[in-house]
Amino acid sequence: MKNLIEIKGVRHAYKTRTGPLPVLDGLDISVPEGEFCAVVGPSGCGKSTLTRLVAGLMKPDEGEVWLDGKKVSSPRKTVGMAFQNPVLLEWRTILDNVILPLEIVAPSMPRRDRVVRAEELLEMVGLSGFEGKRPSELSGGMRQRASLCRAIVHKPSVLIMDEPFGALDNFTREDLWQTMRDLRAKEPFTAVLITHDLRESVFLGDQVVVLSGRPARTQYILDVDLPQDRTIDVLYAQKAADMLQTLRDQIKIAQGRDPEAA
Ligand SMILES: Nc1ncnc2c1ncn2[C@@H]1O[C@H](COP(=O)(O)OP(=O)(O)OP(=O)(O)O)[C@@H](O)[C@H]1O
């Protein structure tokens, strides 16, 4: 399978008033087409910076980011994004919020077709019947479901998610993981998921990349050798427990702590 995302030797420092702040210091990540790459690392190590580079919102000082065989140097229409805060537009209905990217990416697409596409996705995530509601009339979990539909409505080749489930309670979060798994089975896409939740990284990821503390480099890559149609139960089995332990140890190393210490 070809690599849809290639991050090669990426280094980046922000220019600040007190001098350069090195944030990324040698990132190498490859994501095969159709796979999910979860990225974890200590707080402030540069995970969001990585998403901005993949989305083409900024250029690295050194190294290269390639998407689908093209070097990234500016924002791409073929990228979908979802964040912790869904930022849906209150003056639009849920349906019209989901349609928004199509208005930008496919302006000549008839409204009828846009509506069919948005309704199809809303049904997949369990939001049929809520098309005409305003964002404030939905719960946080429902808003995040709508936001996921909006992120993939234009069939992006790459989906970038920065802590999309971070603000949700545990039960809603696990529901959304399963929604994500089902969406992916019906609408294959290649994804980068930034998360602080190691269980989430193992449930959704095909690989989990652990970044070191800032300036971040690729410290460890875990191959998640579990079936794609995994259920939450899988997280309670020995194989996942071992993976979670490995990731916990790696995070301690990234934080400069002794993995043997409690
Ligand atoms: N535009 C900017 N200018 C200067 N410094 C920045 C800028 N954006 C981020 N930083 C700094 O770069 C570092 C990495 O930020 P980034 O948001 O990428 O980390 P993160 O791993 O996503 O953080 P968290 O885990 O807390 O969400 C932080 O120290 C942050 O303060």
Which protein residue has the closest C-alpha to ligand 1 atom 30?
44
> Does pTM surpass 0.90?
yes
* 3-class state of residue 104 by DSSP: helix
Which protein residue has the closest C-alpha to ligand 1 atom 16?
46
The pick from 14, 50, 160 for probing ligand 1's pocket by mutation, whose C-beta has the most ligand atoms within 8 angstroms, reads 14
Residues 238, 206: Cα–Cα separation, whole Å: 18
Residues 53, 49: Cα–Cα separation, whole Å: 6
Q: Is residue 23 within 6 Å of ligand 1 at its C-beta?
A: yes
> Measured in angstroms, how far is the CA atom of residue 174 from the centroid of ligand 1?
27
The full set of domain ranges for the chain reads 1-78+158-164+188-262, 85-156
Residues 252, 73: Cα–Cα separation, whole Å: 34
> Measured in angstroms, how far is the CA atom of residue 85 from the centroid of ligand 1?
17
pLDDT value of residue 64: 93
Beta bridge partners of 154: none
> Measured in angstroms, how far is the CA atom of residue 61 from the centroid of ligand 1?
16
pLDDT value of residue 261: 75
Contacts of 33 (CB under 8 A, 6+ apart): 1, 2, 3, 4, 190
> Measured in angstroms, how far is the CA atom of residue 21 from the centroid of ligand 1?
10
For helices 140-152 and 170-186, what crossing angle results, to 10°?
Answer: 20
Q: Which two tokens stand for residue 136?
A: 């404030």
pLDDT value of residue 212: 92
ipTM comes to 0.96
How wide is the angle at C-alpha 154 spanned by C-alphas 149 and 156, nearest 5°? Answer: 95
The burial class, CB within 10 Å (0-12 / 13-18 / 19+), for 13 is: middle
pLDDT at 1 over 80: no
The pick from 24, 49, 85 for probing ligand 1's pocket by mutation, whose C-beta has the most ligand atoms within 8 angstroms, reads 49
Residue with tokens 């040698």: 26
CATH of 1-78+158-164+188-262 given 3.10.580.10, 3.30.70.270, 3.40.50.300, 3.40.50.2300: 3.40.50.300
Q: Alpha helix locations (H) across the chain? A: 47-54, 94-105, 111-124, 140-152, 170-186, 198-204, 238-254
Eight-state DSSP code of residue 85? S
pLDDT band at 84 (very low <50, low <70, confident <90, very high): confident
